[in-house]
Structure 1
Amino acid sequence: MLVRLLYASRASEPVTQATVDAILAQSRVHNPSLGITGILCWGGDIFMQVLEGGRGTVNTLYNTIASDPRHVRVEVLHYEEVSERRFAGWTMGQVNLAKINPSILLKYSEKPQLDPYSVSGKVSMALLEELIATASIIGRAG
C-alpha cells in the first residue's frame, strides 16, 4: 500500500547549502532501494518534505527523521493512502524558497515566507503542486 506523508520541521542549527546538499545526497543514495520518492522544500530554518512509498517504509523513515537531533518541531502535516505517486519522478527533488518568487508563497499564506505550521496540510500540498507546475523543483531523477 502506497502512502504520502508531508511533514515540517525546524533546523536545530543554522542551515547552509552544504547541510541541504548532504541531506539530499543521502536521500538520493538510500531512497531508491527503499522505494521512497518525494521532495524537500526549505526556507530559512524550516524544512517541509513529502515522502512517498510503502506504508511501513515511509513510517520507519519518518520516525528516523523525527528522532534526528538536527530537527526540532517535527510535525506531520498530511498523511494519506494513495493509489499512485505524485512525486514518482524524484528520488528527492529540492526547492530552495529563497529562489522562488515571493508571490507564490504569498498566494498560500499570510506572509511571503514558508511557514507550514500556520497553514493546513492541504494548503502546503497545494503550494508544492504549484512549485511542480512552475518547474521550481530541481533534482528530478533521470
Structure 2
Amino acid sequence: MLVRLLYVSRAVDPSPAAIEAILAQARQHNPPSGITGVLCYGGGVFLQAIEGGRSAVSELFGHIQRDARHRDVELLSFEEIAERRFGGWTMGQVNLAKLNHSIVLKYSERPEFDPYAASGRVSFALLEELMATASIIGRA
C-alpha cells in the first residue's frame, strides 16, 4: 500500500552544508527503501513530502522526528495514495531563496514561506505549483 506523508520542521543548523548533508543522506537512503519525495527549504523551515510503502514511510518519519538536525516536527498530512506524485524523484529540492514570492503569496496570508500557518492540503498545493513552474531542482 502506497502512502504520502507531508511534514514541516525547523532546521537546527540552517547552513547550506547542513542542508546539503540532509539531502545527500535522503538520496542515498531513499531508493533502497522505495521512498520518493520532495524537500522544500526556506527561512530555516523544511516542508517535505515523502511517498512509499506505509511501513517504510512511517519508519522514515520516526527517524526524522528523532533526528537532532530537525526541531518542531509537525505532521501536516498522511494519506493512502493510488499512485506516486514524485515517482521519478529520490529527493527533489526547492530553493525558496530564489523563488518568486507571488507563488508563496498565492497560498498564504503573507509572502513568507510558513507551512506552520497552513493546512496540509494548502502546503501540498504549493509543492505541486512549485513542480509545475519548474522551481524544484535536484531531481536525482
Question: Shared fold (TM-score greater than 0.5)?
Answer: yes
- Paired with 2:12 and 2:138, the residues of 1 have a C-alpha distance of 25
CA distance in 1, matches of 2:12, 2:19: 13
Residue by residue, what CA displacement relative to the aligned partner does 1:48-104 show, whole Å, maximum 9, x if unpaired?
A: 101100000000000000011111110010110001000011100000111100000
Which ranges of 4 or more aligned residues in structure 1 deviate by more than 4 Å? none
* Cα offset, 1:7, TM superposition: 0.2
What's 1:103 paired with?
A: 102
Which residue is equivalent to 1:86?
85
Number of the residue aligned with 2:23: 24
The runs of 5 or more residues in structure 2 that have no matched partner are none
Contact 1:43–1:113 (Cα < 8 Å) also in 2: no
Question: Residues 35 and 54 of structure 1 are in contact (CA less than 8 Å); yes or no, is this contact kept in structure 2?
Answer: yes
Corresponding residue for 1:112? 111
Residue matched to 1:9: 9
Displacement of 1:12 in angstroms is 2.2
Count of residue pairs the alignment pairs up: 140
Give, as a single letter, the amino acid of the residue that structure 2 aligns with 1:54.
G
> What secondary structure, in the 3-state scheme, does the structure 2 residue paired with 1:50 have?
strand
Identity percentage of aligned residues: 65
TM-score (norm 1): 0.96
Q: Displacement, 1:36?
A: 0.4
RMSD (Å), alpha carbons: 0.8
Deviation at 1:11, TM superposition (A): 1.5
Quote the Cα distance in structure 1 between the aligned partners of 2:137 and 2:25.
16
